[in-house]
Amino acid sequence: MHLPITNFNQNTISCDACSLSNICLPHGLSASEVEELETSIDKTIKIKKKDAVFRSNQKMNGIYAVKSGAIKTSIANEDGQEQVLEFHFPGDMLGFDAFSNGSHSCDAIALEDTLLCKIPVEVFDGLCERLPGLRRELRHQVGKEIAHNQHLLLSLGQQQTDERLANFLLLVSSHYQSRGFSNKEFVLPMSRQDLSNYLGMAVETLSRIISRMTDDNIIKVERRVVIISDMDKLKSLAHSSCRAKSSA
């Protein structure tokens, strides 16, 4: 059953004043386009931890941008076995999966209390027609998502398990840095079960890799807080397979 989205009436900052504006939809839009976009965005949608933004096969009702918190998207087979597709952090967008047939192909679940911005589907097409900058930015967002999925497939198919984790940590590190936060100390909101599922390894394997990285003074882990102790070593580990292939 789809869990309800709670809409909180609270004061929110404008799009152009938001710290995520340079990596979200307002990026690249003119001042007048941002003003029109802002009148159509609901910026007060709060999703509680473990609640759904949308469910698989649910009719599309909007495009979402994560303002704070984190979202997990996943699919499940007939036996209920889950495959994690992506983790969405502040500045990320989701909901594009419903473009194909008007319904979502995955579940989107909050990993922690999360605040979203939403463009309702009933005004989306009109905005795209009137705002050229919005069309360009949406193409960029969809292209970025495709490129990321291609990189993930390459990682799962060609990299060793420790290289996959190293690449993931570097990706999250870069993500936080682009948002003005520390790139060496951050929270991973997902469980180890979800992370190991996403990276294509057993939970026991993930735990062993984390222990080995800790012993090698590459990272420290305190509950869900990750501290990168040696960024150079982490980068070296992430790219070790690339160097091995180039030297072969």
Residues 162-184 have pLDDT tens digits of 999 999 999 999 988 887 889 99
pLDDT band at 28 (very low <50, low <70, confident <90, very high): low
For residues 40 and 206, give the distance between their C-alpha atoms in angstroms, rounded to a whole number: 43
Q: Is 180 left (phi over 0), alpha (psi -120 to 50) or beta?
A: left
Please give the pLDDT value at position 211: 97
Q: What is the mean pLDDT of residues 214-238?
A: 95
User: Does 7 score more than 60 pLDDT?
Assistant: no
CATH code 1.10.10.10 region(s) in the chain: 159-247
**Token code pair at residue 19:** 């710290």
pLDDT band at 15 (very low <50, low <70, confident <90, very high): low
| Residues contacting residue 237 through CB under 8 Å, at least 6 positions apart | 162, 163, 166, 213, 218
pLDDT digits (tens, 9 = 90+) for 139-161: 777 777 777 777 777 777 778 99
- What CATH fold (topology level) applies to the domain 6-154? Jelly Rolls (2.60.120)
CATH code 2.60.120.10 region(s) in the chain: 6-154
Give the CA angle between residues 178, 231, 199 to the nearest 5°: 75
Q: What is the mean pLDDT of residues 96-111?
A: 94
What DSSP designation does 3 have?
P
What is the average pLDDT score of the chain?
Answer: 82
Q: What is the mean pLDDT of residues 201-205?
A: 96
Q: What CATH number labels 159-247?
A: 1.10.10.10
